[in-house]
Amino acid sequence: MSARIPQRKRIYLGCEGESEQSYGKRLNEIADEAGLHLHIDCDVLQPGSGDPLALIEMAVRHIRQKVSNRGLFAHRAVILDADKLNISPDRDARIPRLAESHSIQLIWQRPCHEGFLLRHFPRRDTIRPLTAGLAMAALVNFWPEFRKGMTARELATRIDQASVLRAAAVEPDLNAFLALIGLIDPR
């Protein structure tokens, strides 16, 4: 009789777009390299038009469907851009309650994914561009080959465990997510 391979711990990661999906896949690769027995299910929430509440509502529907088809998730999170906040304060106010009621951790990227990525690099971890355009310009200035929608393999040329931990040191939401999945010590 052969030994059974234990099932990987399933982690749901709702992603605003393909760039976040690739980042989530890269996190999964880093978790594998660290010997963690988990699978990050990176789910692109489209069409979401960047509206944070609509993205969380879509994530709730997707989670329900995935749980129905494949079983429970050990943890649930959604990674989304903060630059779309404050457009509709009434809608924004509903986000934390909806996320909490469905045990979804929010990982806010400030102001956007490119600004979030910038904080993965030495001497750029405290840079906080105010707009998405400034974030993209700062990232491309440092990483000329960067473009939106890069694959996990392309991200791997510059994003490793050390860079993720560097970003987590200044990004509390990322830090909390990495602690939940076991990539960092939850102290």
- Tell me the three-class secondary structure of 105-174, residue by residue: EEEEECCCHHHHHHCCCCCCCCCCCCCHHHHHHHHHHHCCCCCCCCCHHHHCCCCCHHHHHHHHHHCHHH
Question: What pLDDT tens digit does each residue of the chain (187 aa) get?
Answer: 566 767 889 999 999 999 999 999 999 999 999 999 999 999 999 876 678 999 999 999 999 999 999 999 999 999 999 998 988 889 999 999 999 999 999 999 999 999 999 999 998 888 899 999 999 999 999 999 999 999 999 999 999 999 999 999 999 999 999 999 999 876 6
Answering whether pTM is above 0.85, one says: yes
Q: Where are the domains positioned within the chain?
A: 9-181
CATH (one of 3.30.70, 3.90.660, 1.10.8, 3.40.50) for 9-181: 3.40.50
